[in-house]
Structure 1
Amino acid sequence: MLQLFEPYNKDTNAQSGHLIEEIHMLVQGIRLSGFVYVVNGVSNINLLAHNEDGLPPLQIWEMARSVVEDYQEAISVNLLAYQQPNRGWEAPPPGFFKVNVFGASSLDGLGTSGVGVIIHDDSGSVIAALSKALPLQYPAAWTELFAMEQGVLLAQEMTLSKVIFESDAISVIQAISQDLFGSETGHLVQGIQLAKSSFLRCSFRHVKRDCNRAAHELAQLAKNSHASNVWKGVTPPFLVHLIQSGLG
């Protein structure tokens, strides 16, 4: 362990004063990140050191070292807690269905756009999928909203009651969550909002692209082939490996 304080002097008062100064420097040098108890611990040491009956310097030293060790242990646990593993796609809670959607547009503005939708049950099994080519090339924001619209329509067609809709387009989730009807895509947002009443329970969530791979592949297929396909009760053959790898 790194030595954070200087060795003691022989004079007791000088030792106490020196320790207090070092502890204050320690506090200033540490970004606590919410570990309030560290501040409290150091404050207690400071009060004890100024007490008329003051503690021996060695005991102050041990208390300070204990505080530092507690902090180091706590921050290591905290970092581990916030290091989320890359789990990929996850099945919905029991009784729910999960609808993942994706909209694909060409970067050069040519060709057509495509949307992909895939629906899983709570066991992770695919119950439906859609790969749909749009008649024109649309901006990315429009295409992502079209994808969500198609996801809602497919879920209604499958008569699902408890549904979680996921997209890796944060703008889409924000528009739906905040009822943003004022933009040029407002009519799409409003249509999705109205459709929510057809479900017993539903929610809209943003996910990372790694958790939306299957919908991405379906959208790319539609964009590149200019064709539309629907699968019900089966997994699209070209997605079998992806689904089995837990990246659906």
Structure 2
Amino acid sequence: MHISRRLPLSVVTGVIKGFAERKPTSTDFWEMAKESDKKLQDYVHVLLEAAAAYFKSTKFTDIGSTMNHIVNATATFRDDIKGALDAHNITFDAFTKELEGVFMAIVNDLKQIPHPDKAPGHAERADMVERVLDNTAQALVKLAMRYGIEEEIVTTYLSALKPQVQALIGIIGDINEQHPQLFPDLVYTVAVLLIPESWMLKPLLGLFGFGPAGPVEGAGSVAAWLQRRFWGAAVEAGSWFSWLQEAGMGVLPQWAGPVTKTPFLIGSILTMLRSRLSRE
């Protein structure tokens, strides 16, 4: 993958190594990912296309189309509630903080459920998703009413969102059962695709473990716990930052050249996929 020639590769590698040694937090990942939004989006779409071709399965590209529906529905919801938030002098940053508190309460509710001894099956995972989304609906309606947001706006959004989230979890669950070594790639892909509407989707999809995990501060340990609950797997510590490197981002996004759909990129991704599968 291309890295700008303005800096020697040895310099980039050295900074990456130093960055990794200071144990980056989940906040570091999100900040870096947002700065490289377009390049990362391009990269994961190529990843999904390559995986679909390699495994001869549309499930991988279905992840991209499903996330597109989720992001578009959330963008519409954002536009619909903007007037009410402005009327109360509430910024989206402030509203996001409120949302994070709402979703953390849902996480605490999930912790009351006995942890499964093994990865949940399709039906069990579907029940868990249903419970999370029902709790989300109740919490969002209550929060919306505090700011004068019409209940119908929230219920319309959730009606559009619910089947898409259920489909997303089902698709990833099916792939994970067949190819568990690809799980980190799938979680990373979803996390990158939610970035355009991260104000809502970061805490919402975080309920299902779509976020950086490992020995990192705060949210990282929660993400690891949720990943084990929903998928029976955890993302290896540090893998999120190696992903940024694999995607050509480096540690500082401005060092990275554009990610394009070249035969070299496709070949690199297929090599990565084969490497993942060889460890199963």
Band the TM-score falls in, shorter-chain normalisation: under 0.3
Q: With structure 1 as the length reference, what TM-score do the two structures score?
A: 0.25
Which structure has more strand as a fraction of its residues? 1
Answer 1 or 2: higher relative contact order, Cα 8 Å, separation at least 6: 2
Which structure has more helix as a fraction of its residues? 2
